[in-house]
Chain A
Amino acid sequence: MNPSSQPSYNEAARQGLANPCLQRSLHGLQAHYGKGALALWRTLPDPTLRSRVKARRMQTLAHLDLVLEQLADGIRARGGQVFFAATEAEANEYVRDLACKRGVRRVVKGKSMLSAEIGIDAALAADGVEVVETDLGEYIVQMAGSTASHIIAPCIHMDRQQIGRLFAKHLHIPYTDDPPTLTRAARKALRQHLLTADMGLTGCNFACAETGQITLVSNEGNIRMATTMPRLHVALMGMERIVATLDDQRDLLQLLTQAAALQKLSTYVSCVGGPSPAGDLDGPEEFHLVIIDNGRSRILADPEFREVLACIRCGACLNICPVYGRIGGHAYGSPYSGPIGAVVTPLLSGINLHADLCKGETLCGACRDVCPVANDLPRMLAALRHKLAYGDPGWHVRPQNRLEAFGFKLWRKIVGSKKCYESFLKFFRALQRPFIGPQGMIGRLPGFGGGWTGGRDLPPLASSSFRERWRQVHSKNRTDCAGTETEEQRHGG
């Protein structure tokens, strides 16, 4: 998650807005999945489900040490191995070391955002290991040298013609833009990889402490392939992605598949958690679970943000967010995009570094309404803005814009005094006159005022304030108050 090599938030957002294919796809996605999920929550047979699950998530997080210990014991009892990685470097080193020791030449990946967070592809590639994404969308963006722009629809920014040209070039097939034909071509190419890889590398939707297994969901079957056919299975797990019991897993599973894709269940839900026993005919010889902190314990320690660890990465907030719905995922400069990305990316990799994200969101509250675990993302976005405005040594945040802070301090002084405020109005009414266009709007301001008018017209200050108008028009009516109400009063309230 190093944004230095990426275009800025503004630049990437502009590119997203200018991509007609992305605009079309985002519109379709949001109209179907975002609205669909909201409708689902309204008709839940058990209306308390989401709040109950959320409470249980928070309770589990409050016992995280306990449940992780239980999980690790369960997996080791089944012959699996567990590695606790404090940082992405530790996680990468463990997997590289394992790949090296076991002579791994090819790794097939199941879709995992955590793998992108820790940058494991590059780490393995540096050792000469071939890393192949197997989720169709991830495969396409890998082929294009791009990154995923949606949690569950990674190549939503590409159209079928682009994908057709890509496949013609890389898979050496005749050009076609027919999705079934393209899918079959990828199926054929990836089957070879899936059947011959030495290691399957997946994420983890949830681990279950009670059973000592992890749950993986997919519709394509690539994750089942990657966890069944190679001799090694390595699962990367964010330390918060854990439930205590199988019953908790069921609740969360049903919320996940409904929120993500309006499905009662995904096509495949696998529960695995160890090497296959002797005598079994397939499944991995070794199973490794890498439990990763990488900044999560700091979030856990802060009561203001702990809630965000309840997230199950369903992507529903992307499917409803009016900002994500226009600018797309790449603007967020992180594997985690949309409202959840705008909260979790700064917390994981630097609030100042990703200052644009929380400011870009509108705080409209749609993400909170659609979230299956009712995470209050707008509250956390506002909290991040607060930190950026005033600084926070605890999170190593420095005030982002001292000039702006000074401006607001000044504003506080101005609005605190009637005399100051009225002279301010008088002054700016005079100042704005040359900028008011024929439509009665301010279309362009000079200097940094231009930031306010870059994307929209600004209404000018009214020629007289409410107080002034009241004085001029209504003050004489005040004597009538005891008697009958005047026309103006009835309308004016």
Chain B
Amino acid sequence: MADNQPLFLNRIRAALGDGDKERIAWEELAAPIDDSAVLQKLTIRSWEEQRLLLRQLVDTAGPLHLEVHICASLIEAASCIIAIARDSTPEFGSSKEIVIHDHPLLRALQLESLLVEAAIRTHLTRSNDPEVRQHTVNASIGITAAAWGIAESATIVQLTRPGQPRSTSLVPSIHIAVLELANLVATLAEAYALIRQEPDLESLVLISGPSKTADIEGTMVHGAHGPRAMHLLILTIEPVVDKKA
């Protein structure tokens, strides 16, 4: 098909007219934002302040049906996940399977061996594994590691990375996200300052609770097309050295 772009943009230029004195260059229109002050603020935020943010997140999460679990250790987090898995019933298939992002934090939970004991199969979403899609469709639970959390809106920021596909937090009936308390920020603006530090981001998604709809007579129902339940595990392990130094 013909390249319509020059014609299209010319029509816009004609519509704008040439008399506009306010025109500035792209570089000025999209002048880079200096995030250093925000980032600096994040590095000096104390552990007590992080705990206050956690309290705010818990308060906000309630009305969104986002279940927050506070875990003081990796072992506690792992047993929390196992409890959720045991109590769940598969929605679409008959077997209990779990897909897990291939992420260092999640590998450290050693879920694979623990869940084998509970007779639940797990699959890591390893890069280049052609069966990941099928595993994800079959799975009743997807586990992801969130890059950051946002306290004001009870949101997690999920970056798409090799081994960390988008569908893990979407296709299974239950989504469990794991977040380190050190990575909880106060506002969307702070999260955006962090996102801007990530070069070549292919895609990202902000998630604030389970999927929902109110399309039938305004009645809120959780579980429209995405997960019907979402759990957020906050790991409150205080960093030994300054977390972001």
Interface residues of A (CB under 8 A from B): 25, 28-29, 59-60, 62-70, 72, 78, 82-86, 90, 93-94, 97, 134-137, 140, 153-155, 159-160, 163, 179-180, 182-184, 187-188, 190-191, 194-195, 209-211, 213, 219-222, 224-225, 228-229, 239, 244-247, 250, 253-254, 263-274, 276-277, 279-283, 291, 293, 297-298, 300-301
Contact = CB atoms under 8 A, between A and B. Distances in A.
19 contacts: A25-B218, A59-B22, A63-B26, A82-B5, A93-B1, A155-B216, A159-B217, A209-B30, A239-B12, A244-B30, A245-B30, A265-B208, A267-B208, A269-B206, A271-B205, A280-B202, A282-B132, A293-B11, A301-B17
A182 B160 CA distance: 33
Given A155-B216, A179-B216, A219-B212, 17 more contacts: A59-B29, A60-B29, A62-B23, A65-B9, A135-B215, A136-B215, A136-B224, A180-B221, A195-B171, A220-B212, A221-B226, A222-B224, A263-B208, A268-B208, A269-B205, A276-B203, A281-B125
A72 B162 contact: no
Contact of B9 (A29, A68, A274): A68
Interface stretch (B80-88, B177-185, B187-195): B187-195
Contacts of A211: 201
B14 A183 contact: no
B225 interface: yes
Contacts of A276: 160, 202-203
Given A159-B217, A301-B15, A62 B22 contact: yes
B203 A213 contact: yes
Interface residues of B, number: 73
B219 interface: yes
Given A86-B8, A179-B219, A264-B152, A194 B1 contact: no
Interface in B113-144: 125, 127-129, 132-133, 136-137
Given A183-B223, A265-B188, A300 B215 contact: no
Among A70, A254, A269, find the residue whose CB has the most chain B CB atoms closer than 10 A.
A269
Interface of B: 1, 4-5, 7-9, 11-17, 20, 22-24, 26, 29-30, 33, 60, 64, 92, 125, 127-129, 132-133, 136-137, 152-153, 155, 160, 162-163, 165-167, 170-171, 188-189, 192, 195-196, 201-219, 221, 223-227
B205 A184 contact: no
Contact of B215 (A67, A82, A84, A137): A137
A225 B225 contact: yes
A64 B23 CA distance: 11
A78 B188 contact: no
Nearest to A249: B192
B12 A300 contact: yes
A253 B16 CA distance: 26
Nearest to B11: A297
Given A65-B13, A154-B215, A250-B188, A191 B4 contact: no
Contacts of B162: 279-280
Contacts of A59: 22, 29
Contacts of A245: 30, 33
A65 B12 contact: yes
A137 B216 CA distance: 7
A229 B134 CA distance: 11
